[in-house]
């Protein structure tokens, strides 16, 4: 297999960075639990339920990004499509949960990853597999 072009390596790096950032963001929320309780004026049980839901979703998205990125690097074109669809679902989830600085960074990472995933050189790299 030929070495992946720069655009593909950047896309892979940004997808994996997105996965790691999502996990660190979820973990960081647990350290801010008291502040979340104060700001939301919700009982501790509700805040815990909310944090568990966010953490579960973060693990699911990060796992999907890692798995699909691995397949993307193996030139599975369907993984490129799936990454983009999962990213769109993730963006909608972030907008539903609420905008924060961390979610804006996540949205930016996702947008950059999608751009590099669908660049012409990346498409050409996938086409080389079909030609062989």
Q: What is the pLDDT along the chain (132 residues), one digit of tens a residue?
A: 458 899 999 999 999 999 999 999 999 999 999 999 999 899 999 999 999 999 999 999 999 999 999 999 999 999 999 999 999 999 999 999 888 999 999 999 999 999 999 999 999 998 887 655
Six-digit token string for 104: 């804006």
pLDDT for residue 1:
41
Are 126 and 75 contacting, i.e. CB atoms less than 8 angstroms apart? Answer: yes
Residue 104, CA atoms < 13 Å, CB-side half-sphere? 3
């Amino acid at each position: 297999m030929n070495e992946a072009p720069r655009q593909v390596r950047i896309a892979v790096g940004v997808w994996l960075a997105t996965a790691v950032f999502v996990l660190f963001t979820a973990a960081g929320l647990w350290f801010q639990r008291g502040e979340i309780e104060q700001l939301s004026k919700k009982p501790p049980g509700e805040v815990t339920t909310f944090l568990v839901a966010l953490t579960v979703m973060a693990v699911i998205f990060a796992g999907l990004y890692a798995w699909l990125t691995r397949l993307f690097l193996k030139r599975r074109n369907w993984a490129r499509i799936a990454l983009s669809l999962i990213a769109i679902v993730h963006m909608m989830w972030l907008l539903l949960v609420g905008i924060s600085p961390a979610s804006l960074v996540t949205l930016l990472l996702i947008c950059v990853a999608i751009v590099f995933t669908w660049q012409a050189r990346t498409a050409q790299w996938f086409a080389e597999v079909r030609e062989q």
